[in-house]
Every structure is written in C-alpha cells, then in structure tokens.
Structure 1
Amino acid sequence: MRPSLRPALIALLLCGTVGCATSGGGVSNNNNPTRKQEAARTNTELGQRYMQQGQLELAMEKLTRALEADGAYADAHTVIAVLYERIGNPQKAGEHYRRAAQLKPDSGAEANNYGWYLCNNGKPEEAAAYFDRAIADPFYRTPALALGNAGICLARAGRYDEAEQKLRVALEQDQNNTEALFQMASVLYARREYFRARAFMQRYEGMARARPETLMLGRNIELQLGNADGVRDYTRRLLQDFPNSQQARMLDAPGTS
C-alpha cells in the first residue's frame, strides 16, 4: 500500500517518497531572520533545488551547511531527511524527521512526516500518536492526508475497523482523495466486503490512473465476486500496461488464470 503525495517545493520532494508526506507549504518565512537563519533558509532552498535536479552530493553539501548555520531550522531537517531516504539511509532520515517534529511540536506537517516514517519502519503505535498530533493542528492545510496515512498504517497492522474509520473521515474532508479511495477498497477487500470494495474501486478508477497494485486489487475483487469478464479485463490491462511489474509476473506464472 502506498499513499499518493502532495504544492510547494518541499511537498514536491516528499511526494517522491512512499506516503506522500508534506511539510506544509515549503520553507518557512521569518519576518526578521538573523544572519544564521537567513543562511539556513538560503542553503535549504539550494539543497531542495539540487535534489530536484538529481545532484544529490551538492544537495547534501547545502543542507549540511544549512544545519551548521542553524541547527534549529526545522525545514532543513525535513529536507535532509528526504535526501537520506533517497540515498538509502533510513536511520539518519528518521533522526531528522524526529528532530523536525521536536522543533515544531504543534505543526501538523512535521508530525505527519515523522508519523509516516514510523509507519514505514514497523512502528504503527508510535506513528498513530504523530498522526493524531497532525490531525489536531487547526492550521494544518491537508488534514485529510494525515487521516489517510493513519488509515493505511492501521490497515497494515490488521486493524481494519479503525482503518476504515480514518479513511472515511479522510474522504469526508476530501472526496477526491484517490489514494484514500484505493486504500478503502483494500481494507474492505481484506474484510471480505467485496461489493463495497468494488464500489470504492470504481470511484478510484473514475479519477485516477491505474497502477499495477490497483489493477491487481480490482482483479481480485472481481474474482471473489465471480465476475469472469471483469477478471479477464483486469488481467489483460495488467499484462498489457505493466508487463514488467511484480503483479504481472505473478499472473503470468504457469497455471494462473
């Protein structure tokens, strides 16, 4: 499972990670920055740009300078955390996500980021507390994102009833949240509520592009409902559009219908 991510420069960078966390709209502005704060902000912006361009070594250099200038600059911690994830160092990423959340304890964006990190690293209980913090922030721009992430994390832990509740509220706040639609279909499939799962899949497919995992879920739902035409259609689309995907290889195995 994965959530879809999300409007300013940091948000675009974080949308490249699973879970699509956001920092809440880009680098913070300070009306009266000190010289150190200004240096941290400038280097963070440069680090973001270099990361977008794939120049990761230069990005690391600028972000390290940002933190040397002002170690309490939360946005620099957030962006360098993304960079550490990209270069395959989840431990360092977690340290910086955690530090950003500590520096902005009332900020939904930082809480959501760290919650998603915890969820992806096998700590759903700890993650839930941070998602709750994110949802409680009245100034957080995308609470539906934190609700959706909380639902995904609960589903991964097998807590399907609670997951459905979170995802339902996420969809009440943003009915076009396509990832929440897909995750709701996944939860309902796991609970063997196949007709309801189909309804959410149909809503998802009316708004979003297919992915290997969505086509596989659609196929499995139709299989459980005994709809042979639907199974054939999903199978054809999966093998035709995503022939190299793990899901396609599973279907292409001998004896698989």
Structure 2
Amino acid sequence: MRPPDRFRLALLAGVLAMAVGACSSTPKGRLGPSEAPVYSVRDPDGVRRQVRVNDLLVLASRDMQLGNLDGAESKARQALKLQPDEPDALVLLAGIDDRRGRTRQAGEGFRRAAELAPQRGDVLNNYGAWLCQQGRAAESLVWFDRALQAPGYATPAEAQANAGGCALDAGQPERAERDLRAALAVAPANPVALEAMAQLSFRQGRYMEARAFAERRISAAPATRSVLQLASQIEARLGDHAASDRYLQRIRQEFPQDAGS
C-alpha cells in the first residue's frame, strides 16, 4: 500500500476544496466544488437554508485547515442537520473521521456521499481515494472509472492521477502508465501523477526517467517523506551516493519524527 503521506494529498485536497466551491470562486483543489442547487424564487426558505449550509461548510473547512477538528466537526454536523443528504457535509465529516483514526465511520461517510451523488466526479474520486488509502486499490479503480464518466467533472485529471497510482498499487502497471501519462498530459505538475510515474519508472529499472519524474514532483509541491525516500533510492541506483545522502538528510531535517522508520 502507498505510504500515507504520499496518498493523503489527494484525499484531503478534496475536503478543503469545498471552501472554494462554497465561495463561488475558481476551484484550486484536486476535486471540483459542488454545484449550488437551483431554487425557485418562490422558495426563499430553501435558498436561505442552502446559503446557511454553504456558510457552515466554509467555516468547517477553514477550521479543518487550522487543525481545529472539534470546531470543524461541530459546524459540519450543523450543516448536515439542516440538509441531511448534503454530500459535501458527509465528505467533510468523513475526512474528519479519517484524521481522527475512525476508519469505519470515515468509510461509511465517503460511501454514503458517493451513493447520494453518483454524478459528482469529485465525490466519487474521494471515495476511491479513501479505498486506495486503506489498501483496497483494485476496488478503488471502479470508483475512479465512475468519476471519470461523470458529466461536468471539472478536474478529471485528478481522478486519472489517482487511478494511475492505485493501479500501480494493484499490480496493473500497464493501466497505471496509461492513466498517469493521460493525467500529466492535462496537468503536467500534478504531484500525485508525478510521484507515481517516478515509482513506476523506478520499479521498471528506468532510473534516469525516474529521476526526472522525482525532480519534477519535488518542484511541483511540498516534498513528502515518501518522495524524498524514493528520490534517495533512485540516486543510489544511479550511483550518485552524495545525492542519495542529501535526500536522506532532508528526511532527517524535515521529518524528524519518523526519520528513523
């Protein structure tokens, strides 16, 4: 299974992107923002309720970004009380459960959201991401395929990158390379696709190519322990032990809590 620090990037980006969606600005996260429902002018209560739900989700997402999980959970549950079938509230609560280590509740939340929003590519992608994180890579591919088929999905490269990385975990290198290269053709700086391509190239003995993908990945987004470890292994295979040691030194400096693991 992929190391947690490498995979969480995609999972939590979708949760945090909801704040962007609720503010009706251009989405920056991996997953597309929810589409606001259309209400009749004769339904002012429905409009006010939806506005309140969106406001609560924005505040909950900001609390989550700041590490205030209690505040985030309280606000997300208020939103869910107002709108019991709100997929974004369920996704946010599932993300909170995931951070708290409540695995069963997180899975139930992500799956319920996916079932309630079968045409929402971002929600389907989130559930696939969670499944892959749990070591259920082959099962996750079904949900990524559904996400890619969802109409109006604004950022399909995110699901394609996730699908490629999880296909690699599932022992399907041909599908992995196909999906990863397709994702990079659309989003050349996608960190999930870049790291997975570095891993795939490394496993197949294409070390120069692996180095190029690893360097692009480290330039594209803040480094994780897993990508620094991979870069060190690549340099060792290429015979550049000084470069390999520099990456190990970065792990000791940037991830002192687990540098010895």
Question: What TM-score does the superposition give when structure 1 sets the normalisation length?
Answer: 0.79
What's the CA shift string for 1:68-94, capped at 9, x where partnerless? 332222121111111211222121111
Give distance in 1, aligned partners of 2:89 and 2:65. Answer: 15
RMSD: 2.8
What's the CA shift string for 1:99-140, capped at 9, x where partnerless? 111111111011001111111123222211110111122411
- Rate the CA distance shift 1:233–1:52 in 2: closer, same or farther, 3 A: closer
Q: Identity percentage over the alignment? A: 34
User: What SS does the aligned partner of 1:72 have?
Assistant: coil
Partner of 1:132: 145
CA contact (8 A) 1:112 1:134 kept: yes
User: What SS does the aligned partner of 2:260 have?
Assistant: helix
Structure 2 counterpart of 1:30, from 3, 18, 37: 37
User: What SS does the aligned partner of 1:139 have?
Assistant: coil
- Rate the CA distance shift 1:62–1:210 in 2: closer, same or farther, 3 A: closer
- Rate the CA distance shift 1:39–1:233 in 2: closer, same or farther, 3 A: closer
1:194 aligns with 2:195: no
- Rate the CA distance shift 1:113–1:190 in 2: closer, same or farther, 3 A: same
- Rate the CA distance shift 1:8–1:48 in 2: closer, same or farther, 3 A: closer
Is the helix fraction higher in 1 or 2?
2
Partner of 2:112: 99
Structure 1 counterpart of 2:186, from 157, 170, 173: 173
Partner of 1:242: 254
1:83 aligns with 2:90: no
1:59 aligns with 2:59: no
Bigger mean CA deviation after superposition, 3-12 or 47-56 = 3-12
User: What SS does the aligned partner of 1:249 have?
Assistant: coil
Give distance in 2, aligned partners of 1:215 and 1:106. Answer: 37
Partner of 2:24: none
- Rate the CA distance shift 1:190–1:64 in 2: closer, same or farther, 3 A: same
Bigger mean CA deviation after superposition, 114-123 or 38-47 = 38-47
User: What SS does the aligned partner of 2:118 have?
Assistant: coil
Structure 2 counterpart of 1:231, from 244, 247, 253: 244
CA contact (8 A) 1:22 1:113 kept: no
Q: Any residues of structure 2 matched to 1:148-159 within 5 Å, and which?
A: 148-159=161-172
Q: CA deviation at 1:214?
A: 2.1
Question: What TM-score does the superposition give when structure 2 sets the normalisation length?
Answer: 0.78
Q: Any residues of structure 2 matched to 1:184-223 within 5 Å, and which?
A: 184-223=197-236
CA contact (8 A) 1:47 1:58 kept: yes
Give distance in 2, aligned partners of 1:161 and 1:68. Answer: 45
Give distance in 1, aligned partners of 2:254 and 2:197. Answer: 23
- Rate the CA distance shift 1:92–1:218 in 2: closer, same or farther, 3 A: same
CA contact (8 A) 1:85 1:93 kept: yes
